[in-house]
Amino acid sequence: MRPIWKGSISFSLVSMPVQLLAATEEHGSGLHQVHALDGGRIRHRKVCELDGREVAQHEIARGWEVPDGRTVVLDEADIAALPLPTKRVIDVVGFLDADQVDPLMYSRPYWVAPEGPASQRPYALLTEALARSGRLAVCKVAIRSRERLAVLRPKHGMLVLQTLLWPEEIRDPGDLSSPAPVTDRELRLAEMLMDELAGVDIDQLHDEYAAALEQLVDAKAIGEGLAPALEPGPVVDLMAALEESVRAARHARNGDEQDENRTPRGGK
């Protein structure tokens, strides 16, 4: 992994050089846009709306429209010259308990790596202190032309920088809660169902949509199709659906346990 940012973490009088590495990579579906009539690829070209000419990447700058309608053009040198301390500093402004940050605010994670011998000890100290206290370090950092709110949190002896959405970026949904009443019996059945389905292993879950898409492509390539999947209908009797769900989950769990008990030692 190549670092996408280099700078330092600063909290109070402590400073340590670090670098950020992308912690995730999303897998695309493999689909792209084509002309439905002949399968030709649809390309998105960058065209200037004033002269109609396609513009090369090195000719593209940033623009900001001012109130009088003019566009102020900013190039990379202008952006780099911004008098912003967080351009090269992850500025820790304070600490919060982990449950004080709404998960809705979480955006993108980055691995934080210490850079150079001098940063090893303060890096280890901050990581262990956060792990022991159960707190998050709230900070600000400028990444890719934006100053972002973020938190530092420990994971497996390392630091993760998790960028956050600013509070004003969270949309207010209004009141989407349901006015429908629920009974104690329904709540108990729902809790029983959650107990039966507890302990899911996330590492064993896979992208079934991608697998189904590959099957569809293979079938279409030889002129065939796939049978449509059955879609669940609306629940008519909530109590009956909960009771049947509990029975099915219990039966599936007991079946898995029996399979494990029948497996000989050594897994053969």
Average of pLDDT values for 138-154? 92
pLDDT beyond 90 at 111: yes
pLDDT beyond 60 at 267: no
Mean pLDDT of the chain, nearest integer? 88
Q: What is the pLDDT of residues 158-217, one digit of tens each?
A: 999 999 999 999 999 999 999 999 999 999 999 999 999 888 888 888 888 788 888 888
- Percentage of residues in the chain having pLDDT higher than 90: 55
Taking a C-beta distance cutoff of 8 angstroms, is the pair 219, 225 a contact?
Answer: yes
Instruction: Tell me which of 47-56, 124-133, 145-154, 253-262 is least confident.
Output: 253-262
109-to-18, 23, 26, 31, 235 alpha-carbon distances in Å:
15, 6, 12, 26, 38
**Whole-number pLDDT of residue 268:** 44
Specify the higher pLDDT residue, 221 or 113. Answer: 113
Average of pLDDT values for 138-165? 94
Taking a C-beta distance cutoff of 8 angstroms, is the pair 143, 106 a contact?
Answer: no
What is d(CA 108, CA 79) in angstroms, rounded to the nearest whole number? 22
188-to-214, 251, 265 alpha-carbon distances in Å:
41, 19, 39
Average of pLDDT values for 125-154? 94
Instruction: Scan for tokens 């934006």, then name that residue.
Output: 146
